[in-house]
Structure 1
Amino acid sequence: MEPIPLSSLLGSAVDPAQCKLHCAVFNGEHYPIDVLSNDPHEWEKWNRWRGPRNDFNRQFIFSLAQDRHDPNLWLFGGVFEVLVRRGTPGEHSYDITLREDMMGPFIRRLFIHLALTGRQVRRAMEGCIDAMTVASILPEPHVGDPFPGHDRINHSLAEIQLIVSQNRPDWRIALENMKGVYVIHDRLTGEPYVGSAYGDTGIWQRWARYAESLHGNNVGLRALVDGRGVDYVRQNLMFALLEFWSMRTEDQHVLDRETYWKGVLLSRSFGHNKN
């Protein structure tokens, strides 16, 4: 099936010759698709930022946020009109306003396919429009990746914090009534920490404590936070489930399996478990 050109969707609402394309990419700390999906004020700031050059020198900014998994997939972030341009680089030097009348219903719903060449992420839109096609249109605004399955979780602490803060129903329902054994590993050093959820505390509640405290009151992880800092643990501590059961499972079975995995992964000798 032939792809649908984005130009056929724009119609007369958007003139590419009046727009600068903003293809927002990972900035070393945050993924733009997360910012767009969860913090409209911060997303506006991403589009107000001026680098060394006056890149947003046209009336409109056609904003896109790169997908986490496919670099050629972009979520539409709205059309902003530039009201004021100040000459200060390295600051939020543009005053902008979101134009809801210009494709407003497609914000956070329209995914666009665009294979960029080169590193420039702010471009004249007419130079890219022929390569831009409609990938999909979501029935509801994008709020993040759906729950991947218990055996496919491999998410950073920053991602877990976001999921918990959103109280994502797909994640919460899948995890809140489950006991389990999990591993938190440092993706830079490989050092693991093995923990468990048992008693009346499901996996969701246990991980919510990490989201709030960063360390879950574990001695080894607390020392890591103190030594390496908040940003380090948010980006580098990765969560995964090793085993999971219903809440009817005996607590002793959970604890026995936790002990087993501590031995297998050597998390006492080479990781963050202190008991």
Structure 2
Amino acid sequence: MALTLGPLLIDAGIDPAQALVIRHAFAQEAEESGLTGLHANSTHAEIFEYTRRQSASTRSFPAVPQRLWVVFIKEGGDQARLWSVVENRGEIDNDGIIRTFDTVETEHMADLRSRLVIGWKSPRAWKMNATTAATYPVMGIADAEPVPFPGFDRLVLSYVQLRAVMREHRYASWRTALSSVFGIYLITDTRDGKQYVGKADGEESIRQRWSIYATNGHGGNVELKGLDPSSFRYSLLRVFDPATPTRDINIAESHFKDALDTRRHGLNRN
């Protein structure tokens, strides 16, 4: 059975009933449209700006468009390559010709950007409900380019990024690096700024510890259960060689809890 777009949307946390699929084409727009069009050398920023500006005619674009827009770029006559997924936060301007929307790029399907190619069954259609596009066949998924490891002291990950690091092939070198060290890490809830200091030692490397967070969001920590991990940010405070005595790691953990005051004003209970 051929793979279709639908399962990839669902796996990325996108409900097809709540999403719009758009296919941009490289073409000059009519002058009266107020749009600038796209060309083969359009930058990412230009494509983003083109996406957020739509016709004021509700015959051309939905009066109340869906929250998520899955955006493709036309490739050949009957295919499209994924550009990105943006969140529509509402219309912010309408001059009678162009409606401008407050849109932001999301991490949905980030691992498939520029890699996923689908067949486009309706060559004259440039937008459609995702429930329709969900039936379109996946023509190919290109191999991902490896992402260089930035170094332990520059590592800051959102929850979505953490999950990607723990499962995607392009982050293989990151997992190797994180497997090689113990350490003290920091989890920040970006909604209120509260922080949690944790450690990985004994039989558990940073990779092993963080893979648990990637799986369930709380890592078994009572303090984090019941919180939404989508707003968490993960970073490393200090790394240790696996030969480091557990006592030294415990001392470092206690120091950072004191320094950041995470027992009184954060998420640590002890």
The alignment's TM-score, normalised by the length of structure 2, stands at 0.56
Residue 158 (structure 1) shift: 1.9
**Cα pair 1:220 1:273 within 8 Å, conserved:** yes
Q: Which amino acid aligns with 1:182?
A: Y
Seen in structure 2, the aligned counterparts of structure 1 residues 183 and 207 have a Cα distance that, compared at 3 Å, is same
Picking from 130, 150, 153, the partner of 1:148 is 150
Is residue 188 from structure 1 mapped to residue 201 from structure 2 by the alignment?
A: no
Aligned to 1:159: 161
Q: Deviations over 1:27-59 (max 9, x none)?
A: xxxxxxxxxxxxxxxxxx9469xxxxxx98x94
Residue 219 (structure 1) shift: 1.1
Instruction: Please give the alpha-carbon distance, in whole angstroms, between the structure 2 residues aligned to 1:63 and 1:91.
Output: 15
Residue 75 (structure 1) shift: 5.5
Aligned to 2:252: 257
Picking from 60, 70, 80, the partner of 2:78 is 60
Q: Deviations over 1:167-211 (max 9, x none)?
A: 642112111121100000012211100000111211111111111
Seen in structure 2, the aligned counterparts of structure 1 residues 99 and 90 have a Cα distance that, compared at 3 Å, is closer
Instruction: Please give the alpha-carbon distance, in whole angstroms, between the structure 2 residues aligned to 1:172 and 1:77.
Output: 22
Moved more, 141-150 or 183-192: 141-150
Is residue 178 from structure 1 mapped to residue 181 from structure 2 by the alignment?
A: yes
Seen in structure 2, the aligned counterparts of structure 1 residues 219 and 78 have a Cα distance that, compared at 3 Å, is closer
Seen in structure 2, the aligned counterparts of structure 1 residues 97 and 217 have a Cα distance that, compared at 3 Å, is closer
Instruction: Please give the alpha-carbon distance, in whole angstroms, between the structure 2 residues aligned to 1:159 and 1:88.
Output: 29
**Cα pair 2:189 2:233 within 8 Å, conserved:** yes
Picking from 217, 234, 258, the partner of 1:214 is 217
Instruction: Please give the alpha-carbon distance, in whole angstroms, between the structure 2 residues aligned to 1:46 and 1:274.
Output: 42
Structure 1 spans left out of the alignment, 5+ residues: 1-14, 26-44, 49-54, 69-73, 101-106, 109-140
Residue 88 (structure 1) shift: 9.8
Q: Deviations over 1:209-228 (max 9, x none)?
A: 1112210111110132xxxx
Picking from 80, 91, 99, the partner of 2:130 is 91
**Cα pair 1:63 1:78 within 8 Å, conserved:** yes
Seen in structure 2, the aligned counterparts of structure 1 residues 61 and 180 have a Cα distance that, compared at 3 Å, is same
Moved more, 155-164 or 175-184: 155-164
SS in 2 for 1:184: strand
Aligned to 1:269: 264
Picking from 232, 237, 240, the partner of 1:242 is 237
Residue 91 (structure 1) shift: 3.3
SS in 1 for 2:238: strand
**Cα pair 2:190 2:232 within 8 Å, conserved:** yes
When the two structures are aligned, how many residues end up with a matched partner? Answer: 184
**Cα pair 1:163 1:171 within 8 Å, conserved:** yes
Residue 166 (structure 1) shift: 2.8
Seen in structure 2, the aligned counterparts of structure 1 residues 189 and 77 have a Cα distance that, compared at 3 Å, is same
How do 1:117-132 residues align onto structure 2 when only pairs under 5 Å count? Answer: none
Structure 2 spans left out of the alignment, 5+ residues: 1-24, 28-37, 49-68, 86-104, 106-111
Instruction: Please give the alpha-carbon distance, in whole angstroms, between the structure 2 residues aligned to 1:267 and 1:93.
Output: 49
